Structure 1
Amino acid sequence: MLQKANKQLLCKITFWVNGLCVLFFINALMTDMFGVRNTISRSTTDSMLLSTTNSNSSSATNKRSAKDSKPSLAVDARSPTDTKPSLTKNVRAPTDAQSPTDTKHSLATDTFSRRNKTTHIAFLKVHKAGSTTIQNMLFRFGMKHHLNIILPFSNNQLKTKAKEMPITAGQHNDIFALHTTYNKDFFDSLLPADYVNIGIVREPLSRMISAAYYHRDVYQVKYLRQVPRANFIHNLVNYPEKYDRVIFSQTRNTMARDFGFSAKWEQTDEKTIKKYLDELNSQFLFVMIMEKIDESLVFLRRLLNWSLADILYLKTNEHKHAPVILNKTEQAKLRRTSSFDFDIYEYFTKIFNEKINGVSPDFWEEVTYFKELIQGVSKFCHDPKNLEAEGKLLEVKPTKWDNSFHVSSSDCKWMSMKELPFIEKLRNRHRRRHNLK
């Protein structure tokens, strides 16, 4: 009986040992395949974004063997001493020491080895069309990759080369993202021959309403202050001959002015308008749609061969105002007085839809993921505890579109920085890089 009991006990022990071995094997297999170790998925966002941690907590992960080529969940796979970006197209090696501003800028260091990133870019910063958010993204990209960003001596616009801050002889500019009026010859004079143009447009009615409140309240624009505050937008739309007489203003055909339309053209001259729009389309790599900003950025990321870390953003330069609803008669009147803007918006919306209609389902999967990612970044960056704590990180897991990266509290401050202070910091960086007084 004792011998039989011993045999039964031995069989049970063998069974449990074999079971544990199987579990350890499955766990190891999951780790090797997906870089996941003891992680529980609680929701869509939780499976994508890990909980925030202090940078010290990842020190053990940083000590991985150099032979381990698989990415960690949130640690840069490059050597800590390797500060040069992995770029080959349009990029010159930095000729100056990294500035203190660059050192502080650690935005979303990614582990995905991308070559041939497009780095010579002109962005047409259209007024009140989400363009400050895109400008901020381009400024951060330029800092991250040690690029020369075109800057004016003062203010936040550039319309002549005489106002441009000079760079060291033998170098070239890389990024242009200031308010200006589009002119191909002017843009060609600023950047290397292989630069690309990108732009953005916004639904004209919502753009006009936003611009009217913004320029009245923030910049105290004279003609807008003369419009009665009661029924402000309605008065502006219904009585343009009294309050908004010129063909180009902050609230009338603004996008057309920024894109280089001529005030001499008749708004009913469909042939001239169509010809110019076709020219713009041939000269711009891509024109984003503000109402489809996430789809636009994912598509742009693929065009420029950028990483997801490069297109992160927080909404900036928003100006809250009371909602406004125009009746059909008012909408028709606005369409007549600002028909150039409607022509531009409808033209590039059609082009945009044509471009994304042929994309694979993978594109839409990435857009869904990116929307969730932006929500996670926004939540992290708007938590005061994360901004106050040093070394606080939001760790982002690897996906089929990108490897792991992290966002720091410092990144949040750069993403939320207003345009004028950001440009001033860039001017200081520019002076150090090019030995300017």
Structure 2
Amino acid sequence: MKTSTKQVRLIICCFFLSFLIVFIQYTFCTNNYRQDVLERRISVEYSEAVETQLRSHKEGIHLTNLNLDAKSKKIAKLNESINTTRMKEHIFDLDQHDVTHIMHSRQTEKKVCSSPMTHVAFLKTHKTASSTIMSIMQRFGYFRNLTFIMPLKKIDQYRFNYIGAPGETISYENIIPKREEDEYDLLCNHVIYNEGAFQNTFPSDTFLFTIIREPLKQLISTVNYYGYTQQGYFAKILNQSLTNPMSDYLKSPWKFEPSNPHYSVTNNKMSIDLGLPVSQIRNGSFIKSYFERLNTKFELVLLQEYFDESLILFKRYTCWSFKDIIYISKNIWPLHQNLNLSADDIDNHRKWNVADYALYEKFYKIFWTKVLKEKEFFDEVYHFRRILQKVNIHCSNDKQSKSLTIFDSKWSPGFILTPDDCIFLKINEKQFITVIHKRMMSRAYPNGNNPFEQTTTEDDLAHLFQ
């Protein structure tokens, strides 16, 4: 029986359509596969290179000089590679299917944290990215209606964002009272650490942490932030008729420092923030024993130079989520002047800030020792950076009105980033302090017998978010 012309044409058409469908499916799958492979390769190269470099120095993680050692520089270079234009383009070329495919292809050994810690105390240090950490804490507590430890001051009072006077620690006389049925949940304002005072104030299960920075970099940031606004004793230093006033300062810093070290931001400031007695800031044996004690009380000491790694370690320890720890950097001074410090200047700085260098070198080792115990740590850091890039680009448009969807991953549930979330990510710490301060005052004095009467209400402060 002969096949008709129509049947032949139909068979040819069916064959062609089948071939076309197979070709499209192959092309689609191949493109997805290539993107997946590229994504995995970038992530693996990053995580394996960093982890191998760290493990090769496992027994001797330390700073060999005032700047970051060669190992740290290599890690920093790898960190910077995450933000290259080529990689950014690749990340934002991924469509929804590819992102979900990559995320869900890594669902093995999923960690589940169903109960984030809500008793968390952050010891805020100066010029260490602590304001960015503070903004994370503020968002976490504000939207969960938690009880903050806040200074018992008026919001327009000098140093209203500090608890107590310079050198004071927490006491029931200098913080806003809590309701009888409440516990103090969170701390993120500036205050001097004192072991006994903190134990008497916080619940026994409170997670205590802080952040520090390589001391020379901290000095540079401090001078750029305080110095060129001519604040305090910096005016005396920088108004000298010298070619390099900071070099002259480092030759004899005691000539310029305030008589009370608690007013200084250049005399072992991180160590003093952490409660090291000012009378012992050059006592080597005391410094060593004091920092050993700190290590038993602080769950984590984060490093500013490895900010994203620090946040991922914090997230894992506290069971917080990616949405809890996303951020937009805060309180960054736009001017970055070169201090032109010589090798002798740097050596003088090490001698003057002997406690801060000892602090950094000790907790630098401890930080990386903790990291090396974590599984798939750098994979999570890499994934977190991809989320941060999306969040920062999304929130950078002041007129944007859409939400951003972040999908589930093996490390954290997905979330929706709303326009309001962007607003709270961008407001500065003092604006947020004002709002939280008012809420805590209203709780403490519900009948209006507030001894620090405010002239505004929480609703009146809505303009801060516009």
- Cα 1:198–1:127 change in 2 (3 A) is same
Give runs of aligned pairs for residues 139-218 of structure 1, distance below 5 A: 139-154=138-153, 155-158=160-163, 159=169, 160-218=171-229
TM-score after normalising by structure 1: 0.74
- Is the aligned partner of 1:368 residue 2:382? yes
SS of the equivalent of 2:405 reads: strand
- Is the aligned partner of 1:46 residue 2:92? yes
Report the AA paired with residue 423 of structure 2. Answer: K
Report the AA paired with residue 127 of structure 2. Answer: K
Query: Structure 1 regions of 5+ residues with no counterpart?
Result: 30-40, 51-70, 74-111
SS of the equivalent of 1:161 reads: coil
Q: Where does residue 432 of structure 2 map in the other structure?
A: 422
**Could you tell me how far apart the structure 2 residues matched to 1:410 and 1:387 are?**
11
Which of 247, 250, 258 pairs up with 1:237? 250
RCO higher in structure (CA 8 A, sep ≥6): 1
- Is the aligned partner of 1:298 residue 2:297? no
**Could you tell me how far apart the structure 1 residues matched to 2:387 and 2:409 are?**
11
Which of 363, 372, 384 pairs up with 1:348? 363
TM-score after normalising by structure 2: 0.70
Report the AA paired with residue 90 of structure 2. Answer: T
Runs of 4+ aligned residues of structure 1 deviating over 6 Å after TM superposition are 19-27
Say if 2:281 and 2:355, in contact at 8 Å, map to a contact too. no
What number of residue pairs does the alignment pair up? 363
**Could you tell me how far apart the structure 2 residues matched to 1:301 and 1:403 are?**
13
- Cα 1:174–1:26 change in 2 (3 A) is farther
SS of the equivalent of 2:294 reads: helix
Say if 1:124 and 1:197, in contact at 8 Å, map to a contact too. yes
SS of the equivalent of 2:132 reads: helix
Report the AA paired with residue 241 of structure 1. Answer: W
Which of 388, 411, 414 pairs up with 1:404? 414
**Could you tell me how far apart the structure 2 residues matched to 1:42 and 1:422 are?**
31
Report the AA paired with residue 173 of structure 2. Answer: A
SS of the equivalent of 2:277 reads: coil
Q: By how many angstroms is 1:205 displaced?
A: 1.2
**Could you tell me how far apart the structure 1 residues matched to 2:175 and 2:213 are?**
28
Q: By how many angstroms is 1:157 displaced?
A: 1.6
Q: Where does residue 285 of structure 2 map in the other structure?
A: 271
Q: Where does residue 69 of structure 2 map in the other structure?
A: none
**Could you tell me how far apart the structure 2 residues matched to 1:42 and 1:238 are?**
45
Q: By how many angstroms is 1:72 displaced?
A: 12
**Could you tell me how far apart the structure 2 residues matched to 1:371 and 1:232 are?**
39
Q: By how many angstroms is 1:262 displaced?
A: 1.1
Report the AA paired with residue 8 of structure 1. Answer: V
SS of the equivalent of 2:301 reads: strand
**Could you tell me how far apart the structure 2 residues matched to 1:47 and 1:397 are?**
16
- Cα 1:252–1:17 change in 2 (3 A) is same
Give runs of aligned pairs for residues 260-339 of structure 1, distance below 5 A: 260-265=275-280, 267=282, 269-319=283-333, 320-339=335-354
Say if 1:236 and 1:244, in contact at 8 Å, map to a contact too. no
Q: By how many angstroms is 1:16 displaced?
A: 6.0
Say if 2:116 and 2:319, in contact at 8 Å, map to a contact too. yes
Say if 2:222 and 2:266, in contact at 8 Å, map to a contact too. yes
Q: Where does residue 131 of structure 2 map in the other structure?
A: 132
**Could you tell me how far apart the structure 1 residues matched to 2:281 and 2:179 are?**
44
Report the AA paired with residue 205 of structure 1. Answer: L
Q: By how many angstroms is 1:314 displaced?
A: 0.8
Say if 2:125 and 2:211, in contact at 8 Å, map to a contact too. yes
**Could you tell me how far apart the structure 2 residues matched to 1:42 and 1:209 are?**
30
- Cα 1:266–1:407 change in 2 (3 A) is closer
SS of the equivalent of 1:200 reads: strand
Say if 2:207 and 2:299, in contact at 8 Å, map to a contact too. yes
Say if 1:123 and 1:177, in contact at 8 Å, map to a contact too. yes
Give runs of aligned pairs for residues 386-405 of structure 1, distance below 5 A: 386-389=397-400, 391-405=401-415
Q: Where does residue 101 of structure 1 map in the other structure?
A: none
Q: By how many angstroms is 1:255 displaced?
A: 0.5
**Could you tell me how far apart the structure 2 residues matched to 1:43 and 1:146 are?**
39
- Cα 1:197–1:256 change in 2 (3 A) is same
Say if 2:268 and 2:281, in contact at 8 Å, map to a contact too. no
Q: By how many angstroms is 1:371 displaced?
A: 2.2
- Cα 1:42–1:138 change in 2 (3 A) is closer
**Could you tell me how far apart the structure 1 residues matched to 2:411 and 2:238 are?**
52
Say if 2:176 and 2:444, in contact at 8 Å, map to a contact too. no
- Cα 1:48–1:397 change in 2 (3 A) is farther
**Could you tell me how far apart the structure 2 residues matched to 1:255 and 1:9 are?**
82
Report the AA paired with residue 114 of structure 2. Answer: R
**Could you tell me how far apart the structure 2 residues matched to 1:358 and 1:113 are?**
18
**Could you tell me how far apart the structure 1 residues matched to 2:358 and 2:191 are?**
20
SS of the equivalent of 1:392 reads: coil
Q: Where does residue 81 of structure 1 map in the other structure?
A: none
Report the AA paired with residue 408 of structure 2. Answer: P
